[in-house]
Amino acid sequence: MPSQALPEFSTSVKLKYVKLGYQYLVNHILTFILVPIMAAAALEVARLGPDELLSLWRSLRLDTVHILSSAFLVAFVATIYFTSRPRPVYLVDYALFKPPHTCRVPFATFLEHARLITHFNKRSVDFQMLILERSGLGEETCLPPAIHYIPPNPTMEAAREEAELVIFSAVDAVLAKTGVRPKDVDVLIVNCSLFSPTPSLSAMVINKYKMRSNVRSFNLSGMGCSAGLISIDLARDLLQVHPNSNALVVSTEIITPNWYGGNQRSMLLPNCLFRIGGAAVLLSNRRRDASRAKYKLVHLVRTHKGADDKAYRCVYQEEDRDGMTGINLSKDLMAIAGDALKANITTIGPLVLPASEQLLFLFTLIGRKVFNPKWKPYIPDFKQAFEHFCIHAGGRAVIDELQKNLDLSAEHVEASRMTLHRFGNTSSSSLWYELNYIESKGRMKRGDRVWQIAFGSGFKCNSAVWKCIRTVKTPVDGPWADCIHRYPVHIPEIVKL
């Protein structure tokens, strides 16, 4: 008799449901073990009569000394636990800067100005046009007023004006939202990578809002697009040692003094991608703020690859051959970012992934070491750990690479793509525009977990995990209020200009 071919396993069994069953079993294994044991113990106790129960109680021979000693031990352990555990850090609310319509830079305007600026040769103009066509940016991104001049006017005064416009607008909004007075702010942290004036930007905020003299202020510079999460980490550490306090974190990048007017291609990319933006975030460790806060900080993991020379120089501010200062982006940038991401998720994975995913990763790792090193490494399913992803909108290639490596759906990276399209790369504040997009879509529910991933010069990859404390109502104001109904939009691979 002719042998019948066995049915293909992948088509005869719905592997999706097999994996779901495995995940449910492993993630609830303690429940499956303990519930039957507790049920059996309860049945045994129920079978005992009153006399047997009384006899069992007397056999324990508990006297007053035993009871008091046990109570003291329980109280002592509870005291140690509650005094040693870290203080919770709540995100009370945040606000974003929305650029005025007069700062809008459509592609046609950008290219017309580039042609009229005598510093650029034709090859530089054509290169910038090529980048814009593939950038994923839309027609509504904005540049500060000083860059609209022909040629641009990147003076110190113009840079200060941009900083005041962005920072004060965001801080005004977050103070109004939370009802916090400037004199009630305990910690102030301002991060801006490339503009570091004297007095500092944090001093500028203190002067504007007349904050009290003992406010703990910090100004972070030179730390790239991931500085926003570094500021959150610094605020968290300060809130651990200062009880009953709050922290105001301001994240921005001042574009005015950093416009590149030369012709080196690796330095022209920032002109095409970076746009004006800023965020102000209020954090608190006060228990009374828990009821009105939006999120609770669960984890924050920082990875620094600066010990490697290539990683250190892949985003580097320097002068070109003609003495023009700009940011040089290395061709190895994406590969270095990938290595930094792998190191970061190796650390954060055990903190957030369910047991089922960790076991699969462990079994695959052992199999590659013991049986076959050519086995494909198992990439954990981070969708099991998070409902929302905020990937730094540094550029289209960054989002594409993370979507591919983490096996995310189009909806998971929608906030990042739409933020890049509407606002461009706003550096350290881009994560907050993405979070606001999710809220504006009405998708943020109580209990949802958010993963923020940021990359920065140095080279750094930082992650923050937030848990939503209450269902967030769709905002009636903010940068997305007048355009959220139009999103998501289709973003073609190439926009012919």
Q: Name the β-bridge partners of 91.
A: 283, 295
Catalytic residue among 119, 148, 304, 483: 304
End-to-end alpha carbon distance in the chain:
67
Catalytic, out of 219, 258, 421, 468: 421
Cα–Cα distance for residue pair 132/153, rounded to 1 Å: 22
Q: Is 425 a catalytic residue?
A: yes
Q: Tell me the C-alpha to C-alpha distance, in Å, between residue 371 and each of 342, 365, 375.
A: 23, 10, 9
Is the preceding omega at residue 195 within 30 degrees of 0, hence cis? no
Beta-bridge partner residues of 302: 462
Tell me which of 142, 225, 314, 461 is the catalytic residue.
Answer: 225
**Catalytic residue flag (residue 225):** yes
Q: Which one of 271, 388, 436, 462 is the catalytic residue? A: 388
Cα–Cα distance, 405 to 360 (Å, whole number) = 17
Residue 367 phi, psi dihedral angles, 5° rounding: -60, -40
Element (H, E) at 74: helix 64-84
Q: Which residues contact 472 (CB under 8 A, 6 or more apart)?
A: 294, 439, 444, 445
Q: Of these residues, 425, 461, 462, 468, which one is catalytic?
A: 425
Annotation marks residue 101 as catalytic: no
Residue of 344, 392, 412, 468 marked catalytic: 392
Q: Which positions ≥6 away from 157 have C-beta within 8 Å?
A: none
Asked whether 158 and 256 are in contact (CB, 8 A), the reply is yes
Question: Which is it for strands 246-252 and 278-284: parallel, antiparallel or unpaired?
Answer: antiparallel
Contacts of 180 (CB under 8 A, 6+ apart): 246, 282
Take residue 418 and report the two structure tokens written for it: 């739409």
Q: Is 421 marked active-site?
A: yes
Which residues are catalytically annotated?
A: 225, 304, 388, 392, 421, 425
